[in-house]
Chain A
């Protein structure tokens, strides 16, 4: 369960992970000089498609690559437009294989059989792959062939080495380059509410949980015949953290997983079993007693949850933006076709217990325990490293993210990238797959999504203000205008610097005491959350006492101690630079 939580949480964090320390160092000059310093060998002139293999400086070669995540088509990278360009530059093609069944099973058999694909992205099973010594150290290869890798990942080398015994064994997906551009949309956690609720209440500023629940209560009271659901919460399977993470956010902390970290003392406190958690469950309990909470929250599956969010009957809820994409996209789409539907689009709010500083936005971060590595079965690791290095050239990062000028993006007089409406319409999922945007959007080494190119354009298309503004409807503009902000993320407080962020990505050994603590804790929470939220208000205290008694059996102090030690280590590395 813990593993899945990590996987899931990752999606959110990846969207924002930013260099722990490199953001100010990697100025434009720096990147462009290294650019020129690229060794000739990787600079292999892009030969035309027709040219025979003998004439290219390097023979064509295909490497196998396994990805421990599912969700994309198994292709040869050179079958995509972008991959073809990269193959022309390097002669390298990757034959991708995505995971279909259970990750640990697949990785377990690979390790037992001691036979690996050339390149692996083991996802959550990375600790096992490391333990089996399946990845080769990359230090020398990077030294020899990786000027761009050094430029992009250099600021993290110390941490990468310290995480895994002195060597670099894999490249985490993404590193911050250039200035931080933040996501104008909310893909992270927020308390959401239907726009009509804010409209009816005259666009009040909602900062505290009490204001939020009152807002919902009043709205439901005023619309008795609409059969509204005040609020609900997502608890299905591994997505349970959408319910259990809430106390952490209400306390004003970002998503560090199971702990709230004090920036000064580095004390890592678990919030399970805390007063904040009690207050959160008490809130749900009260809402339930008032008939404002959907009891099925604790039995519904994810499909049912999404169906309810799309039904326009749910007034408000907490969740991470990336989990509700299908529902919100459908609502937005309806609003685009019929402006009166704008009322039902959900608007994100930054709510805390006391209305003071919120930390919903992830601080600049670095995911230590996910990445891409070369296995000991690989025939020619140098070619792979050269390919990655070539990918990390700025022009290729533009290619991978924005595509080809004139085809998938345009440049205006000021040198700003943008997409025409026609291009936006053209680029649907099928197009993205064919073109290679999907293939390259995640697993390969790359600039992270909040990076900025030397010319000031955002690395991520969606983060480019020109693109965001084009996406706004009249309804969007109205509500943003009422709150006097330009983007949805503007009402959220700026994240504080946390060099370890996210704490959940600190590698934990499989089967370790920490993992066990997490699994047991999840079991306990799942059982008691439902009881506490749905209990008669007078029974709440008693059940809470039972829960505390069970919870206190876990070695929480040991877990917190382990975390503090890890945090101290990371902060020391960060300070050393």
Chain B
């Protein structure tokens, strides 16, 4: 397939006469070092990542672990139908899809904005000691597992928790009116977003900090001489300097929109907020894995992949059209 692509694109870009295929091989020989440096890993990739994809056939079977491939019972699209058209399931599943997209969307935007902001701010800190302390401290929550973090969040948001106490102290609410934060279904996405930011802001900022550190300092000096203020420099040097990384990460993460995580929703979810907290992964756990229903889980996984690809290619195309760096 890739060879075809080469065939169609090469004539326009190259002035050398040899025809497509021959040219391709000539260049391949010329670039043997690059081939040697990459193809072994492509073979690795095929073994470890592509071979297991035969597992997708499970979605079309009433799969029984332990039976041979030839002994499995094929059922066509049965499991997909359950997800999308079964009267009792589809509503719940589609709601799970909605929640997944909403939560990962919120997470994507909040996560990007806050992590980039943090990186930019840290870059402006001149005291190295302070900078390092902030960097390290903001990185800490990443190492607190969601179980522990959820416990802290639940305690903090409880009616007698610190947030309600704070609200009472500043007079927003009176005693007896405490909010049951995790009981308000429509607040769940927000709570999830804030929790995720809190947990991963420092971690997510690392890659931008690394990107910033490779910006040529000469650029700053030149800008300073032109009288650009710090905000100006931040805006027209630092940000463009890390733009390629931002865009590439953005495209990759748009492809991940179907993955909104599992643990935070599972741990913070309850009967009162289930309409907003139950995502695809929780649905799959309940009706797939816990029922030993591997086909249903696989079908849901395939659906996620398809959506991911659509999102990924769309995002990549948009970036291409806008003349930005892109993923591929």
Decide if the interface of chain B is mainly helix, strand, loop or mixed. helix
Asked if B10 is at the interface (CB within 8 A of a chain A CB), the reply is: no
Contacts of B182 in A (CB 8 A): 299
Q: Which chain B residue lies CB-closest to A240?
A: B271
Contact of A530 among B65, B87, B272, B289 (CB under 8 A): B272
Asked if A515 is at the interface (CB within 8 A of a chain B CB), the reply is: yes
Docked pose: A296 CA to B292 CA in angstroms: 33
Contact of B289 among A102, A127, A240 (CB under 8 A): A102
Asked if B183 is at the interface (CB within 8 A of a chain A CB), the reply is: yes
Contacts of A303 in B (CB 8 A): 151
Asked if B155 is at the interface (CB within 8 A of a chain A CB), the reply is: yes
Whether the Cβ atoms of A301 and B151 lie closer than 8 Å is yes
User: Within the complex, what minimum Cβ distance (angstroms) separates A101 from chain B?
Assistant: 11
User: Within the complex, what minimum Cβ distance (angstroms) separates B117 from chain A?
Assistant: 31
Docked pose: A104 CA to B290 CA in angstroms: 7
Q: Mark B61-94, 1 if CB is under 8 A from A, else 0.
A: 0001110000000000000000000011000100
Whether the Cβ atoms of A108 and B290 lie closer than 8 Å is no
Whether the Cβ atoms of B150 and A301 lie closer than 8 Å is yes
Asked if B294 is at the interface (CB within 8 A of a chain A CB), the reply is: yes
Contacts of A1 in B (CB 8 A): 286, 290
Whether the Cβ atoms of A299 and B293 lie closer than 8 Å is no
Docked pose: A133 CA to B64 CA in angstroms: 12
Asked if A516 is at the interface (CB within 8 A of a chain B CB), the reply is: yes
The interface-forming segment of A272-280, A360-368, A448-456, A519-527 is A519-527
Decide if the interface of chain A is mainly helix, strand, loop or mixed. helix
Q: Mark B268-294, 1 if CB is under 8 A from A, else 0.
A: 001110110000000000110111111
Count of residues in B whose CB is under 8 Å from the partner chain: 29
Asked if A298 is at the interface (CB within 8 A of a chain B CB), the reply is: yes
* Interface hits, B156-171 → A, CB 8 Å: 158-159
Whether the Cβ atoms of A527 and B271 lie closer than 8 Å is yes
* Interface hits, A512-570 → B, CB 8 Å: 515-516, 519-520, 523, 525-531, 534, 553-554
Q: Which chain A residue lies CB-closest to B184?
A: A299
Contact of A132 among B64, B88, B294 (CB under 8 A): B64
Contacts of A296 in B (CB 8 A): 158-159, 180, 183
Asked if B154 is at the interface (CB within 8 A of a chain A CB), the reply is: yes
Contacts of A2 in B (CB 8 A): 290
* Interface hits, A127-150 → B, CB 8 Å: 127-128, 131-134
Asked if A165 is at the interface (CB within 8 A of a chain B CB), the reply is: no
Whether the Cβ atoms of A511 and B291 lie closer than 8 Å is yes
Q: A132-B65, A298-B272 are contacts. A519–B286 as well, Cβ < 8 Å?
A: yes
Contacts of B64 in A (CB 8 A): 131-132
Q: From B92, B151, B292, name the one whose CB has the most chain A CB atoms within 10 angstroms.
A: B292
Whether the Cβ atoms of A511 and B272 lie closer than 8 Å is no
User: Within the complex, what minimum Cβ distance (angstroms) separates A432 from chain B?
Assistant: 27
Contacts of A3 in B (CB 8 A): 290
Contact of A511 among B183, B267, B293 (CB under 8 A): B293
Docked pose: A300 CA to B155 CA in angstroms: 9
Whether the Cβ atoms of B180 and A112 lie closer than 8 Å is no
Contacts of A125 in B (CB 8 A): 292
Docked pose: A277 CA to B328 CA in angstroms: 58
Q: Which chain A residue lies CB-closest to B178?
A: A295
Asked if A78 is at the interface (CB within 8 A of a chain B CB), the reply is: no
Asked if A304 is at the interface (CB within 8 A of a chain B CB), the reply is: yes
Contacts of B272 in A (CB 8 A): 298-299, 527, 530-531
Contacts of B289 in A (CB 8 A): 102, 104-105
Q: Which chain A residue lies CB-closest to B151?
A: A303
Asked if A235 is at the interface (CB within 8 A of a chain B CB), the reply is: yes
Q: Which chain B residue lies CB-closest to A131?
A: B64
User: Within the complex, what minimum Cβ distance (angstroms) separates A544 from chain B?
Assistant: 16
Contacts of A529 in B (CB 8 A): 271
Docked pose: A372 CA to B14 CA in angstroms: 71
* Interface hits, B82-122 → A, CB 8 Å: 87-88, 92
Docked pose: A525 CA to B274 CA in angstroms: 11
Whether the Cβ atoms of B294 and A108 lie closer than 8 Å is yes
Contacts of A295 in B (CB 8 A): 159, 180, 183
Whether the Cβ atoms of B270 and A111 lie closer than 8 Å is no
Q: Mark A67-105, 1 if CB is under 8 A from B, else 0.
A: 000000000000000000000000000000000001011
User: Within the complex, what minimum Cβ distance (angstroms) separates A292 from chain B?
Assistant: 14
Docked pose: A520 CA to B93 CA in angstroms: 13
Contacts of B294 in A (CB 8 A): 108
User: Within the complex, what minimum Cβ distance (angstroms) separates B188 from chain A?
Assistant: 11
Docked pose: A289 CA to B150 CA in angstroms: 29
Contact of A299 among B88, B183, B275 (CB under 8 A): B183
Contacts of B292 in A (CB 8 A): 104, 108, 125, 127-128, 510-511
Contacts of A528 in B (CB 8 A): 271
User: Within the complex, what minimum Cβ distance (angstroms) separates A380 from chain B?
Assistant: 23
Docked pose: A482 CA to B254 CA in angstroms: 68
Asked if A114 is at the interface (CB within 8 A of a chain B CB), the reply is: yes
Docked pose: A427 CA to B292 CA in angstroms: 40
Contact of B270 among A102, A235, A554 (CB under 8 A): A235
* Interface hits, B249-281 → A, CB 8 Å: 267, 270-272, 274-275
Q: Which chain A residue lies CB-closest to B182?
A: A299
Sample of 11 more A-B contacts, CB < 8 Å, known A104-B292, A132-B65, A526-B271:
A105-B289, A108-B292, A108-B294, A125-B292, A131-B64, A240-B271, A510-B292, A519-B291, A527-B274, A530-B271, A554-B88
The 9 A-B pairs with the shortest beta carbon distances in the complex, nearest first, are A526-B271, A510-B292, A111-B65, A132-B66, A112-B65, A299-B182, A111-B66, A530-B272, A511-B291
List, sorted by A's number, 26 A–B pairs whose CB atoms are closer than 8 Å.
A2-B290, A104-B290, A104-B292, A105-B289, A128-B65, A133-B66, A235-B270, A298-B183, A298-B270, A299-B154, A299-B158, A299-B183, A301-B154, A304-B154, A510-B292, A510-B293, A511-B291, A519-B287, A526-B271, A527-B272, A529-B271, A531-B272, A534-B183, A553-B87, A553-B88, A554-B88
Q: Write the residues of chain A forming the contact surface with B, with a CB cutoff of 8 angstroms.
A: 1-3, 102, 104-105, 108, 111-112, 114, 125, 127-128, 131-134, 235-236, 240, 295-296, 298-301, 303-304, 510-511, 515-516, 519-520, 523, 525-531, 534, 553-554
